[in-house]
Structure 1
Amino acid sequence: MKRLTLADTAAAIVSLLILTAAAWIATYGPETPIPVHFDAAGQANRYGSRYELAATLAGLAALNLLVAWMTGRQAATVADPVRRKGLRSGQWLSIIIMGAVAVFIGWASLGPAAASGVSHPGGSMAFLAFILLITGATLGRVSPNPFIGVKTPWTYKSRLAWDRSNRLAGRLMFWLGAVGLIASPFIVQPAGLIGLIAAVLIAAVWSGFESWRVWRTDPDRQPF
């Protein structure tokens, strides 16, 4: 039987907190419609009930447990300590992101936007930049897994392609996150948020291309 680690325990606690928040919202949340989706300018363009928000958070809690459990189980079966450490890094990254996303969803629907129907894009940009910063600082150390990282056909066929493409993606995301956090209070919105999203898409394409380039020249690659 797999022994529970600190990361496993943290995943359970974070999921329990999210589920508790979901239960509270379903029981005591606003009975009037609340904003559940926003356009790029921060204007609410869809409203839902407290039960929809609670169900979204409950699903996020379940997803957090699933990803953490499967990643932790994979780490427990790996003999290589370096790869095991990399899988644990991925597990922690997943927990942090899931927890942060849950907080952001709750704040976006129940915070100031609940009354005004407007969420400032600068806050969304700052949140996205924070996620990029945390992801970028960790991604280069994450070992191959089914959930987190640059997952292309070539990274599954070459460990070198996985390592190099994820290191590149990590560096790009880290610096995009750092610049985004600094710029979010000052840059004109929603241009800043849209620009950051576009930069993330470019970084993703670049990292995917890097995985193909490295796989093509890797003498130890697996053929298709």
Structure 2
Amino acid sequence: MKKLFDKKMVVLLIIAVISLIGHVCIYPMLPERIPIQWSSDGSVSNWGAKYMDLVLAALPILILLFMKAAPYIDPRRANYRKHPHAYDIVIVGVTLLLIACSWLSAFSGLGYDVNIQTLIPAGIGILFIALGNTMPQIRPTYFFGIKTPWTLENPDVWRKTHKFGGILFCIIGVFFLLSAFFGSELFVHGILVPVILGSVAILYIYSYIVYRKMQS
């Protein structure tokens, strides 16, 4: 197992801490309620108390620290040595996306016209495509990957499911990117949501079918 924080992760942690400091600096300027959730047309669908800005700002640091600590408490910790690049991509992608979302919320709260309905789906889409391209590298763990009873039971089922899952994740990412430009209610609820739910169901069924074939 490589050391807990290499240079790349130290830089990422510094970015997250600087982001938190920036939120602390603008905190007095924020209104008492800030937007924390938006509908597909870009309108605010949920508001939070002012302190939620600091919660959103601290979240990237907490997630980063948890994801770096997870390999050390995972019973299958040795497998993280076999996919360090894939795991680092996930950590970097998730952390940067959370930082971006925290600032989009803050700028929106300050009254700036932020194109939420384009920026957030685009960021999620890029993250899904990055995940899809790294999934075939992922080895069996309890914290990271597609965990079904059958993938955890059989390493070959895990490998085949993640290879197939990588394709589905890339497809989901493309649909998120499309929703950034065609983000109507019909597209999101009629196409994007069914694609996500359908992909989850397909992966679950696929891993079971592969497992049954290997058993027989």
1:35 is aligned to 2:30: no
User: Partner of 2:37: helix, strand, or coil?
Assistant: strand
Give the whole-Å Cα distance in 2 for the aligned partners of 1:61 and 1:217: 43
Aligned residues: 214
Is the aligned partner of 1:102 residue 2:99? yes
- Residue of structure 2 equivalent to 1:222: none
What amino acid sits opposite 2:65 in the alignment? L
1:23 aligns with 2:24: yes
Query: 2:153 is aligned with what amino acid?
Result: K
Are the structure 2 counterparts of residues 155 and 87 from structure 1 closer, same or farther at C-alpha, using a change threshold of 3 Å?
A: farther
TM-superposed deviation, 1:6: 4.1
Contact 1:87 1:143 survives alignment (8 Å): no
The 2-side partners of 1:217 and 1:149 are apart by 22
* 1:197 CA displacement: 2.9
Alignment match, 2:184: 189
Which consecutive segments of 4 or more residues in structure 1 shift more than 6 A? none
Structure 2 stretches of 5 or more lacking a match?
none
| Structure 1 residue 139: Cα displacement | 1.8
Say which of 161, 166, 173 aligns to 2:169.
173
Tell me the residue number matched to 1:137: 133
Contact 1:35 1:114 in 2 (8 A): no
User: Where in structure 2 are the equivalents of 1:1-224 lying within 5 Å?
Assistant: 3=3, 4-26=5-27, 28-71=28-71, 78=78, 84-107=81-104, 109-112=105-108, 115=111, 120-182=116-178, 184-185=180-181, 187=182, 189-194=184-189, 195-218=191-214
Paired amino acid for 1:37:
Q
Q: 1:154 to 1:87 in 2, by over 3 A?
A: farther
- Name the SS for the 1:145 alignment partner: coil
- State the one-letter code of the partner of 1:23: V
For residues 76-114 of structure 1, give each alpha carbon's deviation from its aligned partner in whole angstroms, at most 9, with x where no partner exists: 962x7xx6131442233123122212212321x233575
Using the size of structure 2 for normalisation, the TM-score is 0.80
Residue identity matched to 2:185:
P
Give the aligned residue type for 2:38.
F
Does the 8 Å contact 1:7/1:88 carry over to 2?
no
CA distance, structure 2, for counterparts of residue 140 and residue 16 of structure 1: 32
Shift of the 143–20 alpha-carbon distance from structure 1 to 2, 3 Å rule, reads farther
Contact map agreement 1:136 1:170 (CA 8 A) in 2: yes
1:34/1:49 contact within 8 Å kept: yes
Higher helix share: 2
Q: Distance in 2 between the 1:168 and 1:93 partners? A: 18
Shift of the 198–117 alpha-carbon distance from structure 1 to 2, 3 Å rule, reads farther
Q: CA shift at 1:67, angstroms?
A: 1.1
**Residues 56-65 or 7-16, more deviating:** 7-16
Q: 1:104-137: per-residue Cα shift (whole Å, max 9, x none)?
A: 2321x23357538985534343233222212112
Cα distance in 1, alignment partners of residues 76 and 85 from structure 2: 9
C-alpha RMSD of matched pairs (Å): 3.2
1:206 Cα deviation from its structure 2 partner: 0.9
Q: List per-residue Cα deviations over 1:10-37 (Å, max 9, x = no partner).
A: 55334424433443344x4413422112
